[in-house]
Amino acid sequence: MVVGSQCPAIRGLTFVKGDPLAIGVKSDDPKRVFHLTELQHKYKDKHVYIVGVSSESNVQVVKKFVDGMGSQMEYTVAVDTAGEVQEGLMMPAGARGIPHAFVVDSTNTVTFSGHPMEPGFESALRTAAAGASDRAGGAGGPTGRQPLPLITASAEELGGMSVKALKEILTERGLSTADCVEKADLVRKIRDTCTSVTYYK
């Protein structure tokens, strides 16, 4: 994945902890876990979210490890059960090993691709945090703009809505629907993008 390119939609993740990118973080290395937890604490109030994605095929193995770490692992953890992170991010980036981290900013642009201990990683996080805060308008939201509500509907409830209504949810938030071929794609994108990020109109 070339820095400066748009991050593709990633589906098929099984979330073990947290809500639906450090990618491919080796889940049995406590030092890396602590480093990512530290970064999540540092940047969470700035609208930056760390997601550790494991390529381990057995979800229960990952869940057991995450449960064992408890509060020492304070960031979202998912398993790449469909292999989309591997195919959509890791392979295009030429990543040959783990850990490999990507930073994706508020415009869905990849701003860093490399080892999470490289100096450029945290620099990219700081820049992403500044951009996310600007987009959100700081704690109070953009001046003169109203926050749109988080989408709390389940996938089943969204599936019962019309395609037009689903597209309106996304376009009202400035999100493209061009990558959504089927109704299920719209539902997935809404669940992935509109349930935990506040957008403004």
Measure the CA–CA gap between 130 and 46, rounded to whole angstroms.
Answer: 7
119 and 79, same structural domain?
yes
Q: What is the pLDDT, as a whole number, of residue 142?
A: 45
Residue-number span of the structural domain to which 91 is assigned: 14-139
Residue 42, domain member (yes or no): yes
Q: Percent of the chain at pLDDT above 70?
A: 83
Residue 186, domain member (yes or no): yes
Residue 102 φ/ψ, nearest 5 degrees = -120, 140
**Model confidence pLDDT, tens digit, residues 157-201:** 999 999 999 999 988 877 788 888 999 999 998 988 888 777 766
Q: What is the pLDDT, as a whole number, of residue 134?
A: 63
Q: How confident is the model at residue 143 (pLDDT cuts 50, 70, 90)?
A: very low
Q: What is the pLDDT, as a whole number, of residue 140?
A: 44
163 and 189, same structural domain?
yes
**Model confidence pLDDT, tens digit, residues 21-43:** 555 544 456 667 778 888 888 88
Q: How far apart are the first and last CA of the chain?
A: 31
**Which residue would you say has higher pLDDT here, 89 or 14?**
89
159 and 109, same structural domain?
no
CATH number of the domain at 62, please. Answer: 3.40.30.10
Q: What is the pLDDT, as a whole number, of residue 167?
A: 93
Q: How many residues does the chain have?
A: 201
151 and 130, same structural domain?
no
Model confidence at 100: pLDDT above 70: yes
68 and 156, same structural domain?
no
Q: How confident is the model at residue 18 (pLDDT cuts 50, 70, 90)?
A: low
Q: What is the pLDDT, as a whole number, of residue 166?
A: 95
Say whether pTM exceeds 0.85.
no
Contact 200, 141 (CB under 8 A): yes
89 and 157, same structural domain?
no
Contact 95, 110 (CB under 8 A): no
Residue 4, domain member (yes or no): no
